[in-house]
Structure 1
Amino acid sequence: MSELVTGEAVALELRPARLPSRALAVLIDLALAMAVYLAVTVALVAASASLDDAAQVAISIAAFLLVLVGGPIAVETLSHGRSLGKLAVGLRVVRDDGGPIRFRHALVRGAIGVVEIVMTFGVVACTASLVSARGRRLGDVFAGTLVVRERIPVAPSGFVPPPPPWLAGRFTELDLSAVPDGLWLAIRQYLTRMHQLDQQVGLAMAARLASELAASTGAPAPQGVPPGAYLAAVVQERQAREVRRAFGGGTPGPAQAAHASAPSPVAGYGPVAGVPGGYPYPGGQPAAAPSPQPPVAYGSAATPGAGDPGVPRTAGDPSEASRPAVPPEGRPASGFVPPA
């Protein structure tokens, strides 16, 4: 990979094209250019048969410059670095900062390419490309350009499991500015592949990543939380902040939405469908969550001591102090007791 920094201070990871792919693209471009040049030459010879030799030589030189020099320059300028050969191979010419090329870049590359490709049969271009660390020829060096690969095989990214509901929104105050990008990448790779690892190896890797993340944030990891669940919760918080930064501070992020609808904090969390074992994070043994009880009204039979005539009450009964006063029938609930 070649790391390029744009004008907006954004690092781009581009893969420079090497000599075999570039040579194949040049051969395709030269074959097409020579075919067009021969067709144009035949047409010009037939049209200028009545002219003298000097005029025919001038027309031949003009055809050579227009077709073999001006043609590639015009194609790269109009296509922003994609000639027919590069388009077939999957290459593109870009500036050193990763932006699209313009006419001056294509002009310098084309003018020097006549010398190092056409006149020397590609010997100079091949030598310069082999010597350069990024595979650039002399035309690229003088023009400030780079040939990169556009079609790169990318493996499908794995699914990052969400954190338990009781951890959503718990790390909203965590400082994530000091966490390096390499650690984020390692955490994401672990979360997407943790079920492919051995259980002991996965636990050790999760503990190491959790310790590194805690050291970078300056806050210790919460006790009793599986390291994998802790990593997933922090990753979700980072994604929520990126969403808020991209769409405005007023838009609630996923962490806040999940936190608003999450149940009360308990020790365990429910199984996740499609995950081996039913639970997404190794080391997190689910605990039996208390079943929610419906609210019971005061004075009902389900609450002993609160309006049940069959249960005796004493003066020190705490239920007597906490039970609201119920006015007798026929008496207004004004809070005042009429005189006897």
Structure 2
Amino acid sequence: MSTVFLEEHDIKREVIVTGEAVELEIRPASIMARVAGAIVDAAFSLILLFLLVSVAGDAMSRITDRIALDTTSKVLVRLSMVAAFMLLPGIVEAFTHGRSLGKILAGTRVVRDDGGIISAPQAFIRSIVWLVEGWTTLGSVAMLTATLSKRGKRLGDMTAGTYVVSVHVNHNRASLVMPPQLTQWASHASFAPLPTNLSNSISSFLRNASMLNPGVRTQTATQLAHEAEAYVAPAPPEGTPPEHFLAAVSVARRDIEYRTESSQRRAVSQARARAQRIPYDLAEPKSGSK
């Protein structure tokens, strides 16, 4: 279904099917974006390693026994390397749902093969394998496998069942507006508040409609429009495209909520102003009065 309210993008994407059986098209991250992100993350890990070793050095300076010093230094250096190169990267990716400092700057994210959020085990598998394909080979093995893989997967992705996608935000996407052919109808229609789940589903659909398979896009719009009709009276003009109807409902509810919130803010502001007035509107006596 075509629409003039959500911008279409003519870029190559890959189709995946979510757990809700909705097809989404997403774009695997480019090799250059991944390299840029990896360089930033590597620099961050090296800085962290330097700091950890420095702290360990201060602690070891108090040890006088040479044998104990050698043993302790080896243990602390190895622990620092594990923390900087494996533990922390895994924790960061797990808690940020596939992001890291380098990935944020490069505009990428790690996702599961089905497009979902990665789990903690998947994040740690990636960081463990990266020790071999990344650090020990200076990234050459990762570059080779990512180049040969359709989704740009490195060995860590193949092992964990993940891959990296581009998540750059399109700031030029058109804002949602009232469809012109529904302006008159919307001005006289009544729009009841939508259930939270339905409202969120409609907002998500309109925000991501351009990334949906055309058939799934039409089917989803029709289903959501059918559910939303129960909260609108009168029904939209016959023949109205479901997606246009959903846009009209979203815009109408947005405007209603904005007016309501503005009215409430004005009421609160007026109440505060009245509360701050001098009781009984008594002004201070003028100078010189008795």
Q: TM-score range by the shorter chain?
A: 0.5 to 0.7
SS of 1:148's equivalent in the other structure is strand
| Cα offset, 1:42, TM superposition | 1.3
Matched, 1:4 2:23: no
Match of 2:74 in 1: 57
In the TM superposition, 1:230-249 aligns within 5 A as 241-247=222-228
Match of 1:42 in 2: 54
Match of 2:136 in 1: 119
Match of 2:173 in 1: 156
Letter paired with 2:116: G
Question: Which one has the largest radius of gyration?
Answer: 1
Residues 23 and 213, structure 2, Cα contact 8 Å, conserved in 1: no
Residues 56 and 163 (structure 1), Cα distance of their counterparts in 2 relative to 1, 3 Å cut:
closer
SS of 1:52's equivalent in the other structure is helix
Match of 2:111 in 1: 94
Which of 221, 231, 237 is the equivalent residue of 1:251? Answer: 231
In the TM superposition, 1:1-340 aligns within 5 A as 1-49=13-61, 50=63, 51-153=68-170, 155-157=172-174, 161-162=180-181, 182=214, 241-247=222-228, 250-252=230-232, 256-258=235-237
Residues 244 and 253, structure 1, Cα contact 8 Å, conserved in 2: no
Letter paired with 1:39: L
Rounded Cα–Cα distance in structure 1 between residues aligned with 2:128 and 2:183 = 62
| Cα offset, 1:36, TM superposition | 1.1
Residues 244 and 252, structure 1, Cα contact 8 Å, conserved in 2: no
Rounded Cα–Cα distance in structure 1 between residues aligned with 2:223 and 2:55 = 61
Rounded Cα–Cα distance in structure 2 between residues aligned with 1:9 and 1:152 = 24
| Cα offset, 1:153, TM superposition | 3.1
| Cα offset, 1:90, TM superposition | 1.2
| Cα offset, 1:102, TM superposition | 1.1
Further displaced range: 82-91 or 45-54:
45-54
Letter paired with 1:67: A
SS of 1:3's equivalent in the other structure is strand
Segments of 5+ residues of structure 1 without an aligned counterpart are 166-179, 186-234, 260-340
| Cα offset, 1:72, TM superposition | 0.2
Letter paired with 2:44: L
Letter paired with 2:226: R
Structure 1, residues 77-108: CA drift from partner, whole Å, max 9, x if none? 11111111101111111111111111110111
Residues 91 and 181 (structure 1), Cα distance of their counterparts in 2 relative to 1, 3 Å cut:
closer
Rounded Cα–Cα distance in structure 2 between residues aligned with 1:148 and 1:91 = 5
| Cα offset, 1:18, TM superposition | 1.2
Rounded Cα–Cα distance in structure 2 between residues aligned with 1:163 and 1:184 = 24
Residues 33 and 246 (structure 1), Cα distance of their counterparts in 2 relative to 1, 3 Å cut:
farther
| Cα offset, 1:252, TM superposition | 3.7
TM-score (norm 1): 0.51
Cα RMSD for the two superposed structures: 3.0
Structure 1, residues 177-212: CA drift from partner, whole Å, max 9, x if none? xxx964899xxxxxxxxxxxxxxxxxxxxxxxxxxx
Work out the number of aligned pairs and report it: 192
Q: Any runs of at least 4 consecutive aligned residues in structure 1 with deviations exceeding 2 A, and if so which?
A: 152-165, 180-185, 241-247, 249-254, 256-259
Residues 43 and 162 (structure 1), Cα distance of their counterparts in 2 relative to 1, 3 Å cut:
same
The structure where helix makes up a greater share of residues is 2
Segments of 5+ residues of structure 2 without an aligned counterpart are 1-12, 185-211, 239-290
